[in-house]
Each structure stands twice: as structure tokens, then as C-alpha cells.
């Protein structure tokens, strides 16, 4: 994976949930499911039945009406310590780091992009690789 950027700045802004309100799906790994279930003190099977949509090739949270995630509250993520890999790795996703134009587009809704310490692109790309490995079906063509 390569990037057309040398470094980036990012620091999550306290109280911001903008990344959580973007249209899309929240994908899970098997480990994400188990970790979240444990955090909310539910058996994984019961948690999956209530909160997860599973197909042959993907796991994702069921999308409630009027919001993107069943665990998103007005003040933030109610499972923050156990949040899915997809959420934890944002904004260091392959599609955002590989092209500066995509990073700049994300900065329009993410006030943490451009703030905080300078992060070498190699460090950010390691996080992006974790995202790619966690959800290989999402990155088949990249």
C-alpha cells in the first residue's frame, strides 16, 4: 500500500461523533463481536441475534432507524472501549490514506484531521493495513 502523502495530522476531538454519523455500514470481525458482547455483558450469540446482521461474507451491525449504529448516543459511543476495528482505525483507512484527495474529503466532516501531532505516513499505513486485514472483502480490488 502506498500513499501520495508524507505525513498526516490527526487527533480525535472530544465530544465529536461526526465520523459515526456518516452514511454507511459498520462492519465487524469475529473478535469485534466477541469483544463488544463481553463489554455489554451478553453472550456472543445473544449479542449477535440482537445487534448483528451476518451473511456468508460479512458481519455488520444492524442499522437502527435514524442513526448509523445501535451504540451511538448523542454524547458518543456507548461501547467505546470495545468499539469495532473499523471505528477504532478511523481515519487511517486505506482508501483515505492512499489518496490525499480522499483524506481532504474526510477532513470536511472530521474536525480532528489536520490537528494534533504529526504522524509519519508509515505509521498510519500500519493502522490501515490492520483495517485491510480485518475486512478483506472490502478491499478486494485495492
In 3D space, the residue among 69, 73, 76, 85 whose CA is nearest the CA of residue 29 turns out to be 85
Per the structure, how many domains does the chain have? Answer: 1
pTM for the full predicted model: 0.90
- Check pLDDT > 90 for residue 27: yes
Supply the range of the domain harboring residue 60: 7-139
The answer as to whether 114 is a domain residue is yes
What confidence category does residue 79 fall into, taking pLDDT thresholds of 50, 70 and 90? very high
pLDDT at 13: 93
- Check pLDDT > 80 for residue 142: no
The answer as to whether 81 is a domain residue is yes
Task: Summarize the confidence of residues 45-62 as an average pLDDT.
Answer: 96
Cβ–Cβ < 8 Å for 75, 43? no
The answer as to whether 1 is a domain residue is no
DSSP state letter for 15: T
The answer as to whether 2 is a domain residue is no
The answer as to whether 44 is a domain residue is yes
Amino acid at each position: 500500500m502506498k500513499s501520495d502523502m508524507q505525513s498526516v495530522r490527526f487527533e480525535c476531538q472530544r465530544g465529536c461523533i461526526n465520523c459515526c454519523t456518516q452514511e454507511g455500514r459498520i462492519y465487524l470481525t469475529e473478535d469485534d463481536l466477541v469483544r463488544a458482547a463481553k463489554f455489554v455483558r451478553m453472550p456472543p450469540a445473544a449479542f449477535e441475534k440482537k445487534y448483528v446482521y451476518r451473511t456468508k461474507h460479512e458481519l455488520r451491525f444492524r442499522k437502527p432507524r435514524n442513526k448509523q449504529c445501535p451504540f451511538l448516543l448523542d454524547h458518543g459511543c456507548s461501547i467505546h472501549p470495545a468499539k469495532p476495528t473499523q471505528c477504532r482505525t478511523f481515519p487511517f483507512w486505506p482508501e483515505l490514506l492512499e489518496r490525499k484527495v480522499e483524506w481532504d474529503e474526510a477532513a470536511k466532516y472530521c474536525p480532528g484531521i489536520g490537528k494534533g501531532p504529526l504522524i509519519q505516513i508509515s505509521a498510519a499505513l500500519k493502522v490501515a493495513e490492520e483495517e485491510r486485514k480485518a475486512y478483506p472483502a472490502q478491499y478486494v480490488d485495492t
